[in-house]
Structure 1
Amino acid sequence: MGILGKISFKDQTFRLREDAILDATSRILAGKGFDLMTMDDVAGEVGISKPILYKHFRSKDDLVGAAMIRLIDGAIDFLERLPRDETAMGRLRALLAWALRVRLEGGLPFLPSTSPHVRDMLTRNLRYVTRVLKLNGTLKGLVREAKKAGELASALPDDVILFSYYSRTCDPAVEYLRLYAKMDDQQIVAHMLEVCFHGIATRP
């Protein structure tokens, strides 16, 4: 019996509705950004009233924080479910591919890099900060492991590699490739991985 089978129908309904709210929030944030998004937008997207929405989240800040926490949790869970014998480089490639797919599906808003208010709000959110530190620590360990294996440039500082890796998740090239090059999602992900890990120069 799954976890939903162990809780009441009322609680199941509450959790499913909360997931729908967070899904809608991610889509709206990806399209409109934090400043333009309203609680009315979210309620309308889900098909619920604002009073019901406020039973789940007290404010837009709380709602956005929960959406970002769920996103980080998704990344951590994805890494933990990869095969144990997967290499560090393989894990880095797989996670970036996952993030790009989530983004292409409209579920990856890049709020901390685009909104000072959201960045400040999230730095005060202990649950979010704890998860980000966990993910960052894991990825930094993978970068070091991949450098030792000779798969990443050993002369580059870890943080240069790591923040360059993060930047690929919000590279506007993704939208341009979809809109102007008419590439499908699979092609976009493959090309973005190639650019991230091998660059655009010819190799001897």
Structure 2
Amino acid sequence: MATTLRERRRQLLRNEILQAAGALLNEKGYAAISMDELAGRVGISKPTLYSQFATKEDLIIAAVMYWFDRVEQIIASDQTPRTPLQQLCFILRTAVQLQIDEGALSPRPWAPEIFQIIRQRVEVLARLRQIDASVAALVQAGVECGEINPALDPAVVVRAYLTLVSTLHSPFAKLVKSINPSEQIGSDLHAPHLVGEMLALIFANGVRAPVQ
């Protein structure tokens, strides 16, 4: 069924709100976000904002799901044939670049407040299980085809991979920068367009099976 112009406009506004919410969450954290500030950033009234999201918790959950959807859409739109390890690297580059390009919400790590909200939302937990399963399947396929080192524990590889996805939001890196802004470790990235490529290279070199 075709959507009406009003429905399309409402969806566009919803997406704009979620993008702004993700950026604010990245900048300030959950506790510091106010619905007033978010409405001002998007350029809408508070009643308009609340017509889209009844509570702050609903907004944050929607922002998390929106980020997942954006990554999945970009990945699904690229049908380039790849080996399992190549696909893992492609997904890693895509997720990191999206964070850089859009100031998007990183799925991990979350602040304690968000973690508590997430634990109570079945839809987010289901998506996280799906992501873990998809990454684990690619890792296992990489092991079976001889790309990924079979001596490595697949579960550890998956955890390391998901950690690399959230590298830009590392609490340690942010802490170092806050203590010493001039310190190179944790300083602003000088070539952000290369970060995803670098992390993919680190992952691939770390898990690739040794040449026999």
Range into which the TM-score falls when normalised by the shorter chain: 0.7 to 0.9
Aligned counterpart, 1:187: 194
Q: Please list the CA deviations of residues 14-42 of structure 1 after superposition, one character each: whole Å capped at 9, or x if unmatched.
A: 11110110111111111111111111121
Question: Structure 1: how far apart are the matches of 2:27 and 2:161?
Answer: 23
Distance 1:100-1:89 versus aligned 2 partners, 3 A rule: same
The equivalences for 1:49-198 within 5 A come to 49-83=45-79, 85-110=81-106, 112-172=108-168, 179-180=187-188, 182-183=190-191, 185-198=192-205
Aligned amino acid, residue 190 of structure 2: K
Offset of residue 182 of structure 1: 2.0
Q: Report % sequence identity.
A: 21
Distance 1:106-1:81 versus aligned 2 partners, 3 A rule: closer
Aligned counterpart, 2:180: none
Runs of 4+ displaced beyond 4 Å: 172-181
Question: Structure 1: how far apart are the matches of 2:64 and 2:105?
Answer: 8
**Is the 8 Å Cα contact of residues 97 and 196 (structure 2) preserved in structure 1?**
yes
**Secondary structure of residue in 2 paired with 1:105:** helix
Structure showing greater relative contact order (alpha-carbon pairs closer than 8 Å, 6 or more residues apart)? 2
Give TM-score scaled by structure 2 length: 0.82
Question: Structure 2: how far apart are the matches of 1:88 and 1:181?
Answer: 29
Offset of residue 81 of structure 1: 3.2
Q: Please list the CA deviations of residues 157-181 of structure 1 after superposition, one character each: whole Å capped at 9, or x if unmatched.
A: 2221011001112224898689556
Structure 1: gaps (5+ residues)? none
**Is the 8 Å Cα contact of residues 122 and 128 (structure 1) preserved in structure 2?**
yes
**Is the 8 Å Cα contact of residues 107 and 166 (structure 2) preserved in structure 1?**
no
Aligned amino acid, residue 164 of structure 1: A
**Is the 8 Å Cα contact of residues 144 and 158 (structure 1) preserved in structure 2?**
yes
**Secondary structure of residue in 2 paired with 1:136:** helix
Structure 2: gaps (5+ residues)? 175-183
1:40 and 2:36 aligned: yes
